[in-house]
Amino acid sequence: MSGWIAVAGLGPGDDAMVTPQVRDVLAQATDVIGYIPYVARVAPREGLTLHPTDNRVELDRALHALQLAASGARVVIVSSGDPGVFAMASALFEAVEAHPEYIETEISVLPGITAMLAAAAAAGAPLGHDFCAINLSDNLKPWEMVEKRLRLAAQADFAMAFYNPRSKSRPHQFGRTLEILREEQGPDVLITFARAVSTKDEVLKTVTLGEATPEMADMRTVVLVGNSATRRVGRYVYTPRSAS
Ligand code: SAH
């Protein structure tokens, strides 16, 4: 029997946000591969081998999945949120490109609810008009590129979602991010810090850019920045659908 690979998104944390499609594919799997905390979200059962691995080994992980599938395994690579958003789906295709002997592998990508959409829903509708998503980590791209994209997106008055906003290994960059936003957008634009959305640790906090401090974000936070029209209504934050 020939194997296959499914790259599946587990959503932001709440089991109720795992799609039925992802549940079905996990029920058929012989092997589950992924970063330790994501694999920990998959219930063990007989006939299923869990392969938790450390972060930053995406290409090794992808190659391992390809090897297992070639030997007949039904492999699910798990990501949090959506697997196509700063996650394993691209890493898998990169591995296939580098190892063309696996080009015929049957691969499916199963979407999940990404952090920014779960966070936006919890806050109201801050991404209700045009928006963009930026990964603030400079692990895989130069910091100058991050700054350029931030500045141009702010000038274009996009609402924005920031993934990987701040880590211990790069403590200053999020402060710089806030500085650039204040330069381009002024102090009054709303910014929402959404931490551990849909888990028991969830905390949402909305302030103005003038009030925002770097400590408000960590690696479990997705940050949503409004456009110039984003406003509060009661306890919600929303961006009108028309530009004004
Ligand atoms: N593929 C994932 C993103 C992986 S990058 C997705 O689609 O959501 C990891 C970053 O995602 C974190 O640093 C954080 O910015 C964000 N993130 C993931 N889960 C989150 C959650 N439950 N609440 C808030 N942010 C989250």
- What confidence tens digit (pLDDT) does each residue in 149-180 have? 999 999 999 999 999 998 778 778 999 999 99
Ligand 1: which of 10, 78, 86 to mutate, judged by most atoms within 8 Å of the beta carbon?
86
Q: Is residue 88 in contact with ligand 1, taking CB distance under 6 Å?
A: no
Q: Is residue 91 in contact with ligand 1, taking CB distance under 6 Å?
A: no
Please give the distance, rounded to the nearest whole angstrom, from the Cα atom of residue 211 to the centre of ligand 1.
23
**pLDDT score at 55:** 77
**pLDDT score at 244:** 60
- For residue 2, is pLDDT > 90? no
**Amino acid at site 38:** Y
Please give the distance, rounded to the nearest whole angstrom, from the Cα atom of residue 194 to the centre of ligand 1.
10
Taking residue 21's Cβ as centre, other Cβ atoms within 10 Å add up to 15
Quick one: which atom of ligand 1 is closest to the CA of 113?
Answer: 7
E runs forming strands in the chain = 4-9, 31-35, 49-53, 74-79, 107-110, 124-125, 131-135, 159-163, 190-195, 203-208, 221-225, 231-233, 236-238
- For residue 60, is pLDDT > 80? yes
Strands 190-195 and 221-225 come out as antiparallel
Q: Is residue 174 in contact with ligand 1, taking CB distance under 6 Å?
A: no
Question: What stretch(es) of the chain map to CATH 3.40.1010.10?
Answer: 4-113
**pLDDT score at 191:** 98
Architecture, CATH, for domain 4-113: 3-Layer(aba) Sandwich (3.40)
The residue with greater pLDDT, 127 or 1, is: 127
**pLDDT score at 125:** 98
Question: In the predicted model, what is the mean pLDDT of residues 141-149?
Answer: 95
Q: Is residue 128 in contact with ligand 1, taking CB distance under 6 Å?
A: no
The fold adopted by the segment(s) 116-238 is 3.30.950
Please give the distance, rounded to the nearest whole angstrom, from the Cα atom of residue 104 to the centre of ligand 1.
31
